[in-house]
Chain A
């Protein structure tokens, strides 16, 4: 018949032969009269029309449509139950021009996957979700779905869904429409040819929005499940029109506000990674002097006294002087209410345990610290205490004690929080295990508030004056 040509036939974006399928590679695995086939044909015809077949990634859910990849000649990813919107988010962040279709059933989307759909919608992901609502769990044989109407009998509601026991059916469009980000939300139906055509328009609009990067689009499709509804295909369609489309799931457009999606500029700027990561780093230091005794240092005080950064200052300075170092914040059973402590080890040899159980240097910033750690200090160890706050002298007589009014020195210079700098300066100057010049140099690298670098350096000098005055160095 030379005067006629094909007007309607299988879409190019569906495989001509369903080669991934075991048997009957020309037909779907869906039951006679199932809405999935119709919905998927509509989607395929729109993919053809928008010429997006190569760019499309189709996400198959768990449910009857788990095998959607049998049919769509597009990129295909099968997802775990309910998680397609999260999977889509991962793809969206990776492929900026992909057309991502999440195709989900009611159990998948409105039951187990409620979190994922709500948050993807709330982020306004530029993806399209087709929500096939047939008010039942199909693949598992006909159990109650989140969208099953009150009174409807299913395998798990043999007396009908009860409002008091099972709650009301969930309207996903209504729920998502409470969010600001979605661009397009519409509920359609496959009940009649007219509604099927309307559904195709909605599918087209949703995908067109995604193509034009207009944001999150969501089309709910009321779809017949003749098998599990125990109805003929035609009765099933009539039941949608009569029972579902009314008050429970009204057909309408809930949102049509195209959004301006900011193009993802991140992937454009790719600085040299080594340059980025080694900025402000130091060069490898080496030490070839005589062996140095390892220092096991415990620095303890109130939270807020800069205990942890004092430790960092020691560790950084020691690193600059070619030690191996470790720094461990109070973490673990030795931590007690309100107090903080840091364990720092500086050693010529690689460090084993970073935990300092028996320090040979204790820096006690307050009374409780001295109480807690005095007894753990090794014989001939050193205790440097903040005499502005520590009221008593150490009981130990087998250790060297240095009392420094650190808080007073810091306060006098107008930066009370720098008592930690006083203590570390004193430690360096008294023991000589670090050069004071290294500590000064390290201050700028370690202390968070760069604003106070000059003030801290002044405090270092004041500390040195104090130590000279008291003949402690």
Chain B
């Protein structure tokens, strides 16, 4: 299933991905990561289209990994 894998300790909680996602699949959670940021969480089961916008706008190289259906 399409989804975004969050590497919580690489997220600085800027929320740019949250605003970018067309389907509201991402939210900033309440807990702090090792760097002290409230990091992003994936809540978009069934809605994520693996469009990659979240990854593309995210300033961190490794915070997000987008999985999608195998292309045929």
Contacts and interface: CB of A to CB of B under 8 A. Distances in A.
> Are any A and B Cβ atoms less than 8 Å apart in their complex?
yes
Interface of A: 1, 3-11, 14, 16, 24, 26-28, 30-38, 40-42, 44, 71, 190, 193, 196-197, 200, 226, 232-234, 237
Contact of A234 (B19, B58, B70): B19
Given A233-B14, A234-B19, 10 more contacts: A4-B67, A7-B52, A7-B66, A9-B65, A9-B66, A26-B10, A32-B13, A32-B59, A196-B57, A233-B15
A71 B10 CA distance: 14
Interface string B9-47: 110111110011000000000000001010000000000
Given A4-B1, A8-B52, A34-B59, A27 B12 contact: yes
B61 A8 contact: no
A37 B65 contact: no
A97 B57 CA distance: 31
A451 to B, nearest CB: 69
A42 B58 CA distance: 10
23 contacts: A3-B70, A4-B68, A4-B70, A5-B68, A5-B70, A6-B66, A9-B55, A9-B62, A10-B61, A24-B35, A26-B9, A26-B62, A31-B12, A32-B14, A33-B59, A38-B57, A41-B59, A44-B61, A71-B61, A193-B57, A196-B56, A196-B57, A237-B19
A34 B70 CA distance: 32
Contacts of B3: 4
A5 B15 contact: no
A11 B52 CA distance: 13
A234 B15 contact: yes
Contact of B16 (A8, A16, A197, A233): A233
B6 interface: no
Contacts of B59: 28, 30, 32-38, 41
Contacts of B64: 8
Most buried by A among B3, B19, B53, B57: B57
Contacts of A33: 12, 14-16, 59
Contacts of B16: 33, 38, 233-234, 237
Nearest to A42: B56
Contacts of B50: 7-8
A37 B61 CA distance: 7
Nearest to A15: B61
A33 B56 CA distance: 13
B61 A28 contact: yes
Nearest to A233: B14
B19 to A, nearest CB: 6
Given A27-B62, A33-B14, A7 B56 contact: no
Given A24-B35, A27-B35, A44-B61, A200 B14 contact: no
